[in-house]
Amino acid sequence: MNSAPAIQNSAGASDARKVSVAQILVYELRVRDAMSKPLITAAPGDSLRSIQNLMKARRISGVPITEDEKLLGLISIEDIINALSKAYIDESAEKHMARNVIALRDHFSLVRAVAEFDRHEFGRFPVLDSNDHLVGIITRGDITNCLMHHLERRAEEAVAHEATLVAERSADEKAKRVVVRMHVKSGDFDTAGRLSQRIRQVLRDRGIEPDARRRAAIVAYEAETNIIIHSIGGKITATIYPDRVIIEAVDEGPGIENMDLAMQEGWSTAGPLARSLGFGAGMGLPNIKKCSDRFEIHSELGPGTQLHSEILLRKAGTPS
């Protein structure tokens, strides 16, 4: 019975790890990062009409009323509409402003700010610092803008980072060799071709001309299937240098009984399963030899077979 909750826990943990960038930002960013700062305020003695004009001129919908940086109250656009309809627009802010205004602290996280917006349904909150000084005003729009801005920056950083990585990798690969090693199991027809695929990929990335690329891929494929079909298992190492690919296939036996026959086209010892899959054409080793610029094979009954093939590389478009 213990296993079920354990599975649930691990699923929960992996879900928790899949947090979106936006979610992280909402926790990381503070109210002070999102609030509007060139603060537009009015004094308690200012008329509501002057505040209406201020709102119109600055396209804002709420003005904090302050004295010595202390927040006394807030006049919203709703207050102005009421003042117009009830004809007290020329009276002072002090007389009609909302007092006991709920303010946010500048160090609050944006996630907390969003929660306050949800709870109070206000269009805006004044923002106070730890000295109770009014330092800004924040709307839902400010939060959205701030998130969009930071998401964009993160995305640009990610793209830039990716570009550096690609550049570094290609510089690295040009200078150095790439080694691909693979264990090959006897009878494992289903995985044949992986090494060959990887070699093609590296050579294509390096701009190697198609003929050499294909020859290297053929050698790798034939060497790999030889181990699958004929041996009890082995391994292949492909070392890709800037100017050549060296493919070394070593198996653990049983070895080739008659090398002359094995190198002869059409001669094969492949079993019926391999043959039914299209292997056993008797062309594996001849193909490898034909595709190699240098080819060596050594085999002993018992210990097995070692094959060494080299393919010289040229960049596409360079003269031979």
Partner 1 sequence: MKTQSEIKLQSILSAMQAEPLTDETDAVVTGCYISDLLSDVLAHSQPGMLWLTIQTHRNVVSVAATKEIAAVLFTCGRRPEASIIGEAAEEGIVLLTTPLTTYEAAAKLWEAGLRE
User: Where on the chain is the footprint of partner 1 (CB under 8 A)?
Assistant: 189-190, 192-193, 196-197, 200, 210, 214, 217-218, 221-222, 225, 277-284, 286-287, 290
Q: Are 291 and 223 in contact (CB under 8 A)?
A: no
Question: 125 φ, ψ to 5°?
Answer: -130, 135
Q: Shortest approach of partner 1 to residue 198 CB, angstroms?
A: 12
Q: Which two tokens stand for residue 37?
A: 């700062």
| Rounded-to-integer distance, Cα 260 and Cα 266, Å | 12
Q: Shortest approach of partner 1 to residue 277 CB, angstroms?
A: 5
Q: Which run of H or E residues covers position 108?
A: none
Question: 56 φ, ψ to 5°?
Answer: -65, -45
| Rounded-to-integer distance, Cα 51 and Cα 91, Å | 11
Among the listed residues 66, 42, 77, the one whose alpha carbon sits nearest the alpha carbon of residue 128: 66
Angle at 62 between CA 42 and CA 142, to 5 degrees: 120
Among the listed residues 61, 132, 79, the one whose alpha carbon sits nearest the alpha carbon of residue 103: 132
Q: Shortest approach of partner 1 to residue 318 CB, angstroms?
A: 19
- Please say which residue, 73 or 280, places its beta carbon nearer to partner 1: 280
Angle at 55 between CA 54 and CA 57, to 5 degrees: 65
Q: Shortest approach of partner 1 to residue 310 CB, angstroms?
A: 18
**Helix 110-120 vs helix 140-175: crossing angle, to nearest 10:** 150
224 Cβ contact partners less than 8 Å away, ≥ 6 residues apart? 182, 184, 192, 193, 194, 195, 196, 236, 249
Q: Which two tokens stand for residue 234?
A: 């082995």
